[in-house]
Amino acid sequence: MLSTVARLALAVVWAWAGLAKIADPDVATRAVRAYEIFPEVLVKPIAWGLPFVELGLAALLLIGLACRPAAWVSAILFVSFIAMIGSAWARGLSIDCGCFGGGGVTSTGDAVRYAQETVRDLVFLGLAVFVAVGPSSYVSVDQRMTS
Amino acid sequence: MASGHKRRGGGVSKQWWIVIGVFVAALAIGIIVQSSRSKSENAHVVAPKHALGPNGSEIEGATSAPVTVQEYADFQCPSCKAFHDSMSSTVDKLVKDGKIRFAYTYFPFIGEESVRSAAAAVCAGDQRKFFPYSNILYTEQRSENSGFLTSDQLVAFGKDAGITGSAFDTFEKCVRANTYDGFVRRSAENGSKRGIHQTPTLLVTGPSAKTFELGDQQLASSVAFEQAVADVAAGKT
């Protein structure tokens, strides 16, 4: 039961994150570029591909198809996000994480909340690991295929 | 059914292939769909009819000035208004004294009203009224994306900026046709590529160079700002 809830919660997180980033491709581009991590050739593929990957993961988790691998991939992504936020933080960059939309650009000084963003992603990471290694969940395609 | 799956031994690795397939397909679809939707990617860029400074900026001051102050700003950004309100008299003074050349670079990122107002300001620039027009945009600034900056409103601001007669007709047509929409979008994209990720950002360049962002006292204090200009003019880093 708990793993079903965790799986669906993870699906909602990905759906929310993906949809928020799709609205404006230019905003997404600026958000990725603002981290100053990726070479320019990779900025747009990441900015434009990632939200669709997030929606893909949301769909898999929602219907419960290939849940554990999808959760592992989710966990890897969250670890990467936490590392990127930490890197921006350590380098003293003043950016918005762009996690749920937003252009990585800040127009107000208090908009930077690296600690909050990190804690939030740690919670999501915990959720993903739980889905990946926890008990099987109900109402899933995986379950129908294996029972 | 279960034994069937297990006998074939493909259960787990097959699931991984599903996830990898979805991942790659989503990535490819995303890149294709979003590149067709990107407004800066597909922007029809019309070059302004008036002369521009570095990075497509609006300039005032003598080219002989030893220091250039380039500001990246968005007319909807509250901190840009704050900088404008507290520092424009200092900037004007330094420009008049021939100490700096001031360059305003379009960086509209807050929303469609940012793009619209920036594009209208370029139209005002065509009529040699960029700076009076930008003063009005800051004076009349409302909350971000409130719906206040309609084409009608932006046209009306032209009158307030002192655009009259046939120049006003040209200005109005320019605003209503969204003539410079692509130009200002591309300007923001180029600024982002140069590492600008907040507004206002001030690049003070001359014999040396300094960058100031939100929170730096040079954006709020005339003394600190003039000191920074003097330091750059003296080649201090």
Asked if the model's pLDDT at residue B11 lies above 80, the reply is no
pLDDT in tens, B96-121: 999 999 999 999 988 899 999 999 99
Minimal C-alpha gap between B10 and chain A (Å): 12
CB contact under 8 A, B26 and A52: yes
DSSP designation for B62: -
Mean pLDDT within B127-133: 97
CB-based contact A38:A29 (threshold 8 Å): no
Look up the ipTM and state it. 0.89
**Backbone region of residue B52 per phi and psi (left: phi > 0; alpha: psi in -120 to 50; beta: other values):** beta
Asked if A69 and B34 come within 8 Å (Cβ–Cβ), the reply is no
Secondary structure of A79-104 in the HEC alphabet? HHHHHHHHHHHHCCCCCCCCECECCC
Residues B197, A30: C-beta atoms closer than 8 Å: yes
Which of B1, B18, B77 is facing A66, going by the closest CB pair?
A: B18
Residue contact A40–B193, C-beta within 8 A: yes
pLDDT at A103: 66
Angle at A88 between CA A83 and CA A94, to 5 degrees: 150
**Which residues of A are less than 8 Å from B77 in CB distance?**
107
Sheet of B209-212: strand order equals: B58-60, B100-106, B67-73, B201-205, B209-212
The whole-angstrom separation of Cα B153 and Cα B161 is 12
B12-22: b or e for each residue (b if 16 or more CB lie within 10 Å)? Answer: eeebeebbeeb
E strand spans, chain B: 58-60, 67-73, 100-106, 201-205, 209-212
Cα-Cα-Cα-Cα dihedral of B69, A33, A82, A54, to 10°?
Answer: 140
Domain boundaries, chain A: 2-136
What's the first-to-final CA gap in chain A, in angstroms? Answer: 17
Residue A123 has pLDDT above 50, yes or no: yes
Find out if CATH 3.40.30.10 is the number for domain B54-233. Answer: yes
What does the domain layout of chain B look like in residue ranges? 2-37, 54-233
- pLDDT value of residue A106: 60
Residue A105 has its nearest CB partner, among B11, B80, B197, at B197
* β partners of residue B72: B105, B201
Query: If DSSP codes are grouped into helix, strand and coil, which group holds residue B97?
Result: coil
Looking at residue A110, what is its pLDDT? 42
Of B5, B19, B199, the CB nearest to A69: B19
Q: Find tokens 């200009």 and name the residue.
A: B229
Query: What integer is the mean pLDDT of B152-176?
Result: 97
Contact B35, A46 (CB under 8 A): no
Which residue, A125, A110, A139, is CA-closest to A8?
A: A139
Mutate to test the interface with B, among A19, A22, A30 (most CBs of B within 10 A): A30
State mean pLDDT over B200-209: 95
**DSSP of chain A:** -HHHHHHHHHHHHHHHHHHHHHS-HHHHHHHHHHT--S-HHHHHHHHHHHHHHHHHHHHHHHHTSSHHHHHHHHHHHHHHHHHHHHHHHHTT------BTB--S-BSSGGG--HHHHHHHHHHHHHHHHHHHHS---SS-HHHHHH-
User: Which H or E run contains B150?
Assistant: none
- Stronger pLDDT, B197 or B232, i.e. the higher one: B232
| Candidate from B23, B31, B198 with C-beta closest to A106 | B198
| Contact state of A48 with B215 under an 8 Å Cβ cutoff | no
Q: Which residues in chain A are closer than 8 Å to B199, comparing Cβ atoms?
A: 105, 107
Confidence of residue A97 (pLDDT cuts 50, 70, 90): confident
pLDDT at B158: 97
Q: Contact, A45 vs B27, CB < 8 A?
A: yes
Q: Kindly determine whether residue B193 and residue A51, on different chains, have CB atoms separated by under 8 Å.
A: no
CA distance A40 to B95: 36
pLDDT at B7: 40
Tally of CB atoms within 10 A around A77 = 20
Three-class HEC string of B153-198: HHHHHHHHCCCCHHHHHHHHHHHHCCCCHHHHHHHHHHHHHCCCCE
Whether the predicted pLDDT of B9 surpasses 50: no
Could you tell me which residue, B9 or B64, shows the higher pLDDT? B64
Q: According to the model, what pLDDT value does residue A147 have?
A: 54
Q: What confidence score (pLDDT) does residue B197 get?
A: 82
The H or E element that residue B235 is part of is none
Per-residue pLDDT at A109: 45
Q: Which amino acid is at B198?
A: Q
Inter-chain CB proximity B15 and A59 less than 8 Å:
no
Subunit contact A105:B109, Cβ cutoff 8 A: yes
Average of per-residue pLDDT across B158-169: 97
Overall average pLDDT of the A59-76 stretch: 95
Tell me, yes or no, if B177 comes closer than 8 A to chain A by beta carbon. no
Check CB contact of B74 with chain A, cutoff 8 Å.
yes
With beta carbons less than 8 A apart as the criterion, state whether A37 and A80 touch: no
A119 to chain B, closest Cα gap in Å: 23
CA distance B197 to B81: 17
CA distance A91 to chain B (A): 14
**β B201-205/B100-106 pair status:** unpaired
Mean pLDDT, chain A, rounded, equals 88
Q: What is the pLDDT of residues B138-156, one digit of tens each?
A: 999 999 999 999 999 999 9
Say if the Cβ atoms of A27 and B109 lie within 8 Å: yes
Contacts of A121 (CB under 8 A, 6+ apart): A78, A81, A82, A85, A99
